[in-house]
Chain A
Amino acid sequence: MRKLILAASVWVMFFTLTGCNEKPVDPITNPEEAPVVKMVISHEFNGQRINFNSVEYATTHNLVSFAELSYFLTDFEFKKADGTWMPFAYQALIRARQTPVDTLVFTNLPKGAYQGLRFKLGVDSVNNHADPALWPNEHPLSIMRGGTMHWSWNAGYIFFKLEGRFFKDAPIQGAYSYHIGRDDLITQYTFEDISFNYNDKVVVLPMRFEAKNFFETPHQHMMRDSALFSHSAFDDEVAEILHGNMSNLILKD
């Protein structure tokens, strides 16, 4: 009987150990996938994956929680080995609450060596003011996908939407709602320190969206009655200040 128990224990131990033994995943190549370039964006606050609605995060001045984080990325360009920038037609609507780690897949990128990547958070002026009903329903700019990301007849698309609640320096729990979007509030991101050879393997470009920077880098943002929401009107100081922080939102991971 003792031998039986011993044998069973060894088996349990074996399976427990092998069960924990996950193979390390090579972030750059996966030989089983068709070759493609991917940009993976993890949405975080101070380096921790955002837990929407339920966790409070400390900025310098407030405790905040997140209910909604959505934005458009457009106008992608890859820097070729000769130093020229190659436009790559691609638009993405990121909905971080639904997909905290989002993967943009760049199919049909020409094979070759690249040494940089740039893109914009926002929608260019022509598309911003075009009829959104003209896009196919599956397109990121279609109102069928981003109905809550369009200002109807006012000003085009809401480029960036961050909504949630705050808990400090307020007599009662309050809410904030920041909608950034206006032709002059597009944010350009340029990464000249990204280089990769795209040949016959999957290439993954890991990125991090750091929400803490929205509230304090470089401008310290304090929740107060006059700064709890922004709709990017032309005289909207809150939008101007927060837009100044948006260039630090997406970082190379």
Chain B
Amino acid sequence: MKHVFLLSLFFVGFMACKPEPNPKKEYPAPRPVTLATKPFFPPAVIPADNPLTVEGIELGRHLFYEKKLSGDNTQSCASCHNQELAFTDNGKPFSTGITGAVGVRNSMPLFNLTWTNRFFWDGRVPTLRAQVLLPIEDPTEMHESLENAIHKLEQTALYPELFGKAFGDEVVTEERMAKALEQFILSIQSTDSKFDKFRVNPVLSPLSLQETRGFNIFMREFSPPGSGRPVGADCFHCHGTHLFTANNFTNNGLDESPAVGFSIVTNDPNDIGKFKTPSLRNVGVTGPYMHDGRFATLEEVLEHYNAHIKQSQTLDVSLKSQGMGLGLTTQDKADIIAFLHTLTDSVYLNNPAYKSPF
């Protein structure tokens, strides 16, 4: 009897120590954040119902690096999105989830998502907010129910307060998790590459001769070999503008029988084999390449476009009209790659604001 009494006392004492969200505790209004407008970049697109705040971004950063969101508390979003590699998965073609299951798509880089509008390689999710919670529940990734994830966050001393600071009270919800993650990921910007510095002041920050030649080949239209015109790789049609993506979906000739791709969204057979055109910013650190990570190096990627385009019904007409290939020499490809490396942004790759808070 004495033992039962002591056990009960211990239990009551333990439960009293367990933190509980306090929905009535009041917090000051979160402080708004305005993303700086950088030269040559369009205005950032922020959802009207989820303006960026210091506290919202900070909560999102914690959630992004929080392993409690996975089924066995071993993986976070950051496990497959490493900042030092533009938030890609450590050179792997596919990511491995907590059960050892392997995914089917290459982990996408994360930056400048204020200027994109469909998510995943096949564009099947229209908003970042809808996208961010899916890997948590995916059995091949973090394999955790949102209900459990919320429960685990509620049990901590940290998260109720972070939710309170971000949203005014300590209630943890799916929507708030999604909004905080959305805020953090939208705050991740890459705008300080060597090329950006060159654009702002070409005299103070020039490109080398090789980089300049690579830039010109990248930006020049294709001309058939023997036409007498300078060689052009015609990259800019899909990877143009200062974002280095036209934000389109394209069949870039990887397979004669291409995968479903964007047609999963449109139900249009003309969209079979089309995948999101990624930005080429930081492309020097985001390998392997393509939606399935089939190319290990940029040299392989360029050789694909140079001479190995596969014909199919939905092949992009710009690639189809190139017929026998681009006709790039080894030097041309090296020059383009030299230029692509000027898009690597070490400020972003090392920005402490994007690093783990733990």
Contacts and interface: CB of A to CB of B under 8 A. Distances in A.
A175 B241 contact: no
A143 B241 contact: yes
B248 A147 contact: yes
A144 B115 contact: yes
A228 interface: yes
B241 A142 contact: no
Interface in A116-154: 131-133, 135-137, 142-144, 147-148, 150-154
Interface in B236-282: 236-238, 240-243, 245-248, 270
Q: Is the interface of B mostly helix, strand, loop or mixed?
A: loop
B102 interface: no
Contacts of A152: 219, 236, 240-242
Nearest to A136: B43
B40 A53 contact: no
Interface stretch (B20-28, B51-59, B136-144, B317-325): B317-325
Given A144-B45, A147-B241, A175 B270 contact: no
Interface residues of B, number: 31
B41 interface: yes
Count class of interface residues, chain A: 20 to 34
B219 A153 contact: yes
A208 B40 CA distance: 37
A52 B219 CA distance: 28
B103 interface: no
B41 A133 contact: yes
A229 interface: yes
Contacts of B115: 144
Interface in A81-134: 131-133
Interface in B198-235: 219-222, 224, 229
A83 B45 CA distance: 44
Nearest to A135: B42
A142 B321 contact: no
A174 B321 contact: yes
Contacts of B270: 52-54, 67
A6 to B, nearest CB: 44
A133 B42 contact: yes
A68 B42 contact: no
Given A148-B237, A233-B221, A176 B321 contact: yes
Contact of A144 (B42, B222, B320): B42
A195 interface: no
A150 B236 CA distance: 9
A53 B237 CA distance: 20
A123 to B, nearest CB: 15
Contacts of A174: 320-321
A152 B245 CA distance: 11
Contacts of B236: 151-152, 154
A240 to B, nearest CB: 16
Q: Is the interface of A mostly helix, strand, loop or mixed?
A: mixed
Interface in B13-59: 39-43, 45
A175 B253 CA distance: 14
A244 interface: no
B317 A164 contact: yes
Contacts of B241: 132, 143, 147, 150, 152
Contact of A133 (B219, B242, B245): B242
A231 interface: yes
A174 B322 CA distance: 10
B45 A231 contact: no
Nearest to A143: B241
Given A54-B270, A144-B45, A174-B320, A131 B40 contact: yes
B262 to A, nearest CB: 13
Interface in A219-253: 225-226, 228-229, 231, 233
A147 B236 CA distance: 10
B46 to A, nearest CB: 11
A165 interface: yes
Contact of B317 (A54, A142, A147, A176): A176
A56 interface: no
Given A165-B317, A225-B224, A148 B248 contact: yes
A147 B224 contact: no
Contacts of A231: 221
B240 A175 contact: no
A133 B38 CA distance: 10
A142 B42 contact: yes
B321 A151 contact: no
A160 B317 CA distance: 16
A147 B243 contact: yes
A131 B318 CA distance: 25
B248 A228 contact: no
B240 A150 contact: yes
Contact of A175 (B229, B243, B321): B321
A148 B321 contact: no
A231 B315 CA distance: 19
B186 to A, nearest CB: 14
Given A148-B240, A163-B317, 10 more contacts: A133-B40, A135-B42, A143-B42, A143-B242, A144-B42, A150-B240, A152-B242, A154-B236, A164-B317, A177-B321
Interface of A: 52-54, 67-68, 131-133, 135-137, 142-144, 147-148, 150-154, 163-165, 174-177, 225-226, 228-229, 231, 233
7 contacts: A52-B270, A133-B42, A143-B241, A144-B247, A148-B240, A163-B318, A165-B317
